[in-house]
Amino acid sequence: MRLLLVCLFFFIGSALFGQRKTSLGTNNSFHNDSVRNECMENAHRLLDEAFKLMQRNYYRKDVVNWDTLKLAATTKLNSRGVCNDAYETINWCFQQMRENHSFIMPTLKAAEYNNDRLQLTSPTALSKMVGSMRSGMINDSVAYLTIPWVSTTDEEVCNMIADSIQSVIETLDRNNVKKWIVDIRKNTGGNCWPMIAGAGPLLGEGICGYFVRNNEKVSITYKNGMAMQGKYTRCKVSRKPYQLKNPNSEIVILTANSTASSGEIIALAFKGKSNVQFVGEATAGFTTANATYTLSDNSMLVLTVCQEADRDGKIYSGRLIPDIPIASNISQGKDAILDAAVQSAPKK
């Protein structure tokens, strides 16, 4: 699978193996021998599917002793004899690999993430797909907004989120905004594309980051209301894209230890802009990019496939350190990080 087709945490890819839809059982001790054997066959099939994808696409695949790991994983699964341990075993493999950004998403959770109406008895609640959004004017010239986590690939919902963020920016920009405060402290990740499309007026037109693997580099771009991966559009606003009255206004990005994964992609998208500075805590350190692969039971393998770079091509590994470090301290209605951002001097 070429890097060009990979999206940051989470873009759906199709597994190349096994189309049977037999579900995993829960505990073999409750099944007769034939059902138990079929159940364990399904569990081993899932493990095989996951390993083929991991060996082919994992970004550090050359440093893993796959034969040894596969033998240990198979032994572990056989020793327990519990069908659902296929998921536990795959996650155990990532622990052995010291890979903390990859994991397996069980079938129901995957269906909720994709808002798969064929798999779900009812649509996924919006509160499960997107974090809360807040905005307002702090004073006559300082505008505040949050960019929330987005936990869905549903195109309609993603476009709605992008529209909402741009609408908030347009409303705030009716004021004489001299400083924008963008809060991503509670952005724990998910689908980055509606975040990028929504924040586009603040990011500005053009490349705002890269996915990097070996010698291949794929651009992350905001262009005319569209968030693009290379030449592919991943999310776009349904309205006329908004443009800031003053594209050179100061921008302050608020980060915290909980800013993670796609939240960190948004942080990196602002890196390198001359009018941007960062205030708060170091981020979580998940500055690698994931692709997702649907397995034969409709669970999803969420696999780290590449590194991330800012608009200047600088690759980041681990936590993003703010320009102005401030520890989180919210008490008696006061927010130390936000207060520091409001009072910060323009970046020189």
pLDDT tens string 190-227: 999 999 999 999 999 999 999 999 889 999 999 999 99
* Domain ranges across the chain: 3-114, 130-286+318-343
CB 263 within 8 A of CB 289: no
SS (H, E, C) 49-93: HHHHHHHHHCCCHHHCCHHHHHHHHHHHHHHHCCCCHHHHHHHHH
Structure tokens at 131: 């974090």
3 has pLDDT over 70? no
**Three-class SS state of 95:** helix
Q: What integer pLDDT is reported at residue 119 of this predicted model?
A: 87
Is the torsion defined by CA of 192, 194, 196, 202 positive or negative? negative
| Cα–Cα distance, 16 to 302 (Å, whole number) | 15
Q: What is the pLDDT of residue 81?
A: 67
pLDDT of residue 348: 73
Which residues lie closer than 8 Å to 137 by C-beta, 6 or more apart?
A: 143, 144, 172, 175
Q: Which fold has domain 130-286+318-343?
A: 2-enoyl-CoA Hydratase; Chain A, domain 1 (3.90.226)
Least confident among 34-38, 149-153, 252-256, 285-289: 34-38
Residue 142 has pLDDT above 90, yes or no: yes
For residue 307, is pLDDT > 80? yes
Entry pTM: 0.86
Q: State how far the Cα of 47 lies from the Cα of 28, in Å rounded to an integer.
A: 17
Q: Is 190 exposed, middle or buried (0-12, 13-18, 19+ CB in 10 A)?
A: buried
Q: What is the mean pLDDT of the chain?
A: 88
Amino acid at 208: C
Q: What percent of the chain has pLDDT over 90?
A: 78
For the segment 139-160, the average pLDDT, to the nearest whole number, is 96
User: According to the model, what pLDDT value does residue 304 have?
Assistant: 97
Q: Using one digit for the tens of pLDDT, what is the confidence trace for 51-91?
A: 999 999 999 999 999 999 999 999 999 887 666 789 999 99
pLDDT at 324 exceeding the cut of 50: yes
Residue 309: pLDDT over 70: yes
Task: Find where tokens 């890979």 sit.
Answer: 99
4: pLDDT confidence band, cut at 50, 70 and 90? very low
Q: What is the pLDDT of residue 38?
A: 76
Q: Which pLDDT does position 294 carry in this prediction?
A: 96
- The pLDDT score that the predictor gives to residue 106 is 93
| Interatomic CA distance for residues 94 and 303, integer angstroms | 10
Above 90 in pLDDT, residue 97? yes
**Computed over its alpha carbons, how large is the radius of gyration of the chain?**
22
